[in-house]
Structures are given as C-alpha cells and as structure tokens.
A and B are shown apart, each in its own frame.
Chain A
C-alpha cells in the first residue's frame, strides 16, 4: 500500500508540474534594499481586476498614469468582466504558475488565499517603506480586514458603503417624505405600503424595495441590523439559528410575502432590482457605492441616496473593500510592490476617487470635497455617502472556507425566500451542513 501510495504521488507530481512551478520562485523581502537601489532592470508586470466597463476604464487610466512615471516598471492591465469567473481565473492561473503579479481581491478572499500560503506577506515591506504618514492615513478597519494571523497580506485599493438609493418621483407621487436618518424598519414598512402598488396591470405595478433573487449581497445586512451574524466572535460556531439572525431573515421574508411591498424571487430572478429601479418601478434600491456613478448618468431618473433603515439594533450595511496582493508565484515581487504602493498612495487614490466609483481608502482624501464626490459632478448628499461608509459600514466576516459556507447559506436561504422551506428548517440545514466547514 505504501509503495502504491508513493507511486501515485510521484505520478501526480509529474503531471501536476504546474503546482511545483507556482511554488518554486520565492523572493524574500529584505529590509533596506529596494528604495536605495533604483538601478532595477525594466520589468513588465501584470495587474488583474474585475468590474464593468466603467471600472475597466478607470483602472486603465490608473495604469497609464503609473506607466508614464518611468519607474522601470511597466504594468499591463488584465481585466475580467464578471466576478465569479474572476476567482476561477485567479486560482487556475496560480495553479499553472502564470498568475498575474498584482491581484485585486475582496478583503475576505485575501484572508482565504493567505490561509493557503499563496500570498506574499507584506508586513516587512510595509514596515520598510510604507510607514508613518504614508500608511497612517489608511482607514484602520480596512487594514485590519486584509490581515491573516496578524500579518498584512494586501494593501487596500478601494472601498464603499451600502446605501438606499431612492426614486424621488415615486416618493413625491405617493406623498412620502424622503428617507433620512430617522427611518427604521417600521418606517420602511409603513411608508413602503404607500409606495407600492399591487395593481393587476403589471405595467402599473411599483414596489417599495427589492432584493436580488438569489440570496446574495443583502441578507447579511438585515441579519446584522437585527443583531445577528454569520459567526460568533472567535468563529468557532455559526449563528444562523440565533433568534436575532432569524429575525433579520424573517423581516426580509415578510417584506415580500406579508407586507407585500417587495417583489418575490419569481420576479427578481428575471428583472433585477437595479433594472426595476432604473425603469421607475422601484422606490428604494439598496446597493453599494458604485451605483452613484451609474445613476448619475441615467436619464429620466430623479434620485437621491440615504442610509439603510435602522433595524432593532443598528443600521449596518456591508462595505465592499478590495485590496491588492502579490502571489507567491510572482517573479517580480518588488516591482509588484512598487505598483501596489502607487495605487494605495495619494496619487493612485486620487485617480480612483475622481470617477466616484468607490470611496478612497485614505481619510484625508475622503474628506476632500474637491476630489471625492464633488458637488458639481454628483447630485447627492456627500455627508450621507461618507457617514454611511465610515459609521454604518461593516466588513464582511472572513473565514478560510468563506466561499463554501456562503454557498451553503445561499442554497437554503434561496429556498426560504421562494417560500418552499420554513425558516427553522432552512437555518437548521445551514447549521448542519456548514458547521463542519468551520474546521
């Protein structure tokens, strides 16, 4: 058995050459070199990220600006349109040893990848040339969110809060005051009833609020707002069966099936909430900061942004934070680090903030009215945008098996939200199936 075992492992390692390549070259960060020595050879590195066409344009501009600086490092942008294909691509290129040198990750993917020892620990490099004033301005939560076991594996690239986008025309028509900080779940239901129209004529129908058909981005906001969460403090247990978590999920369900002010998944699986909002059929749409840019360009849409309505405990909304990391397989780690510093630094952040597609990760820039969401370009209340992000924003929890845990949760929450499984049963299934993944 043992020799068979050995044979199998030799055989596989020959075939899976790729993994070996991925782990072969490692360039240890050493303090004191780098900066003093500018005699580096010209190198080209690859930077990969995902996003829509506007995001792509923004990042290509960022790369162009960096390349013009003639640091000896040339960056090539590799854009992937959809996020679900993005991680597949990152992981397969890592396996074949052809991963890009700089990879953009959602903060909890930084954690998951770092836990598998495939990212470069940046802690020493940060200490070496990114301390004091340069680093100090990074928002602390974001830095914290990109750590694994106390070590820093990425520098923040951008972030953004979660807001209620509302259609002023529908509010005016229903005679409802625009949502503000006084709004709670109760207000949402009471005013929501005035805003929705369950007309038999589908063309006249309007909804107060909507969620994506698949239990995705939003359910965690409602869980938080009721005081619930995915994990307990030390992540030794899941909290799906806690009364508070359930209360948040129940609230979403009630909006669809009891109060009937939100469309159920049979509608949103075909017409996304964002489309309902854009076509004037939805009064309130909750999503990330990126939509400020999207709606600013929209014709015939009179809109504003507000905080999320406050639940029994708080009004948290998730922060979409991303950071840049270097894979262990990169052959140009120092060059990659130069680019990461540029993006995280003031100049890079200014370029990213200018388009308003997300919030800068540095305090000073965030507060600078001329650089981030200038009033002449964006017709919104800047203070809501900033406070919604800084005070009411919360990072998604991290776990090395996050993707699998999330998939289990979605699978059963989907069934709950289409009304074919009870809440107790769905949360019990999640507990049973996802608890083994905590190990």
Chain B
C-alpha cells in the first residue's frame, strides 16, 4: 500500500479499487474491534450492565495480582519454543526430500499438506484417541518397544503441553513445507551445477547454497509461525480445555475464558492487548535481524 502511494503509478487507481473490499472488511471486522478492545480494556464490563471505567486496573491486576496470567504467559512461551523450531526444521527436511523427482510426488506432497486444511477440532478429537494412555496407538507402540510405563499424555500436567505441541507441529508442517518447496524451486539450478564442478558434496551444497538462498523463506516462515503459535487456541480448547489444572492454558485460551466463560470483557481485552504487544515485540526483533542479514 505504502509503496503504491509513493510512486506515481498510473495503475494506482485500479489497484486501490482491488484492495478496497479487503480493506473495508479489515476495518469493519478487525480494525474497529481492535479499537473497541483498547477502550474496553480500561473498563469493567460483564456484557450485561453498563461498562464501568476503571483506568489501568485491569492491566495492574494482570501483572501484579493474577498468578494465573504469569503461568499462562509461561505456557504460551513454552508452546512457542517447543513448536516453532521443530516445525521449521522438520518442514525443511521434508521439503528437501520432496523436491526431487520421485514417483507419486504429488500424492506425497498432498499427504503432508492434508493436516493444514483439516479442521482443528476434528483433528484434535482424533489425536485425543491417539494419545489415549490405554488404547492409544502411541502408547501401544511405546509398550511394544519395551517402555512399560508410558506417559499419560493429555491427562498429565507434565505431558499435556508436549502433546499439544506435537499436534501443532503435525498441523503446521504441511504449510511450512509448501512455502519451503516454493523457495527451493526458486534457487537456480546452475548454482548447484557450479558447486558440483567445484567438487562440493551434497552436504556442502545444502549448507552453502540451499540454506543461504532460502533465508527470505525461512524468515517469513519463522515470523508467521511465531505469530501463529502465540495464538494457539483450538487444540487447547478441544483436547484439554486448558487443563489439567492450568497446564495448557495459553493466552488466547485465557482471553476466551475471561470473555466468554467469566464474562469479564474488560479484563479479556486487556490481556488481548498484552498479547498484541508481545507479538509486536517479537516481530520487531525479527525484522531487525532480518534486515541486518539482508533477508528483506
């Protein structure tokens, strides 16, 4: 948008018309609610009675006297750290494998992409069975290889979060993989040919050609994954309802819980704005790193 406005492009009026519908949609369904949430975060409102202005009390409570919110922040960070690096590394690995001339390549690619388009609610329900400590396929396998006391997964405070991370990785893998594939196919073939002539082996080709040239792609995926991971909600709602206890209660789940279970709209809005600043913070850092390394 900004770029368009700067130049004296004669296509500009046409472009604006094309952007307009999406822009209006964004303003009505995202922009205005964001502003309303900002105002509401200074109010005490239960949806039923007239909102009461409370100043910074909601923020004050969040940071100073809500022991759950700190745990929720930590849970969210745990989720991000657990799911983002793994889902990127595995996605890259699979993308490299699938970037070859294999039989049934389209089928394999589609297979990895399938979780992305499947409904998170349905997928979570299936995963609940997979994680079943007694009948679940995972524990069946673990017992088969001799682990007599496998974890209780989503019903254990220690293993519930790893379970959700596993599902998240499975779910996001396909998306990251497709983006990586696109990135891989953009790398000119002659670079590899030149490398081979110079006597580089497969590993060297990967480290010195593939990885550096994929940097913009990796950067994009990292940002998108981190932003997405901070907003994890579906799995936590369907698989564990934030439990056991509060072990899988994440920021967005906590916002949902405050807004639509306890009907503390002001408090929920304040948490939402805290989340906004956290995401902004991480994106700013990444953007700095990215610029320095020339990814953008």
For residue B157, give the distance in angstroms from its CB to the closest CB of chain A.
5
For residue A221, give the distance in angstroms from its CB to the closest CB of chain B.
21
A64: interface (CB < 8 Å): no
A213 and B155 contact, CB distance less than 8 A: yes
Proximity string of chain B (144-183) to chain A, C-beta cutoff 8 Å, 1 when within and 0 when not: 0000000010111100000000000000000000000000
B262 and A414 contact, CB distance less than 8 A: no
Contact of A8 among B50, B53, B246, B257 (CB under 8 A): B53
In the bound assembly, the distance between CA atoms of A15 and B36 in angstroms comes to 7
On chain A, the residues within 8 Å of B46 by CB distance are 116
B36 and A414 contact, CB distance less than 8 A: no
In the bound assembly, the distance between CA atoms of A363 and B46 in angstroms comes to 38
B210: interface (CB < 8 Å): no
Given A116-B49, A403-B261, also A414-B39 (CB < 8 A): no
On chain B, the residues within 8 Å of A91 by CB distance are 47-48, 260, 263
A9 and B53 contact, CB distance less than 8 A: yes
In chain A, what residue has the closest Cβ to B129? Answer: A270
In chain A, what residue has the closest Cβ to B240? Answer: A269
Proximity string of chain A (1-26) to chain B, C-beta cutoff 8 Å, 1 when within and 0 when not: 00001001101110110010011000
For residue A246, give the distance in angstroms from its CB to the closest CB of chain B.
19
In the bound assembly, the distance between CA atoms of A315 and B277 in angstroms comes to 53
In the bound assembly, the distance between CA atoms of A272 and B109 in angstroms comes to 37
A270 and B244 contact, CB distance less than 8 A: no
In the bound assembly, the distance between CA atoms of A118 and B49 in angstroms comes to 8
Q: List CB contacts (< 8 Å) of B224-245 with chain A.
A: 241, 243-245
B135 and A407 contact, CB distance less than 8 A: no
In chain B, what residue has the closest Cβ to A410? Answer: B243
Q: Which of A8, A16, A264 has the most CB of B within 10 A?
A: A16
Contact of A266 among B39, B42, B47, B134 (CB under 8 A): B134
Q: Which of A11, A267, A414 has the most CB of B within 10 A?
A: A414
Contact of B134 among A16, A88, A202, A403 (CB under 8 A): A202
A266 and B50 contact, CB distance less than 8 A: no
On chain B, the residues within 8 Å of A95 by CB distance are 47-48
In the bound assembly, the distance between CA atoms of A269 and B155 in angstroms comes to 8
In the bound assembly, the distance between CA atoms of A15 and B31 in angstroms comes to 13
Contact of B245 among A19, A202, A411 (CB under 8 A): A411
In the bound assembly, the distance between CA atoms of A52 and B46 in angstroms comes to 28
B112: interface (CB < 8 Å): no
B128: interface (CB < 8 Å): yes
A224: interface (CB < 8 Å): no
In chain A, what residue has the closest Cβ to B262? Answer: A404
Given A214-B243, A270-B132, A403-B262, also A118-B155 (CB < 8 A): no
For residue A205, give the distance in angstroms from its CB to the closest CB of chain B.
8
For residue B245, give the distance in angstroms from its CB to the closest CB of chain A.
4
B155 and A265 contact, CB distance less than 8 A: yes
B133: interface (CB < 8 Å): yes
Q: Can you offer 13 A-B residue contacts whose CB atoms are under 8 A? A: A15-B36, A84-B261, A116-B46, A117-B49, A214-B243, A266-B155, A269-B128, A403-B262, A407-B261, A412-B245, A415-B244, A420-B156, A420-B245
Ranked nearest first, the 10 interchain pairs of A and B with the lowest CB-CB distance are A266-B155, A95-B47, A415-B245, A266-B152, A266-B133, A116-B48, A88-B260, A270-B132, A118-B48, A420-B157
Given contacts A117-B48, A414-B244, 10 further A-B contacts (CB under 8 A): A12-B40, A13-B51, A16-B36, A95-B48, A202-B135, A265-B244, A403-B263, A411-B246, A415-B157, A418-B156
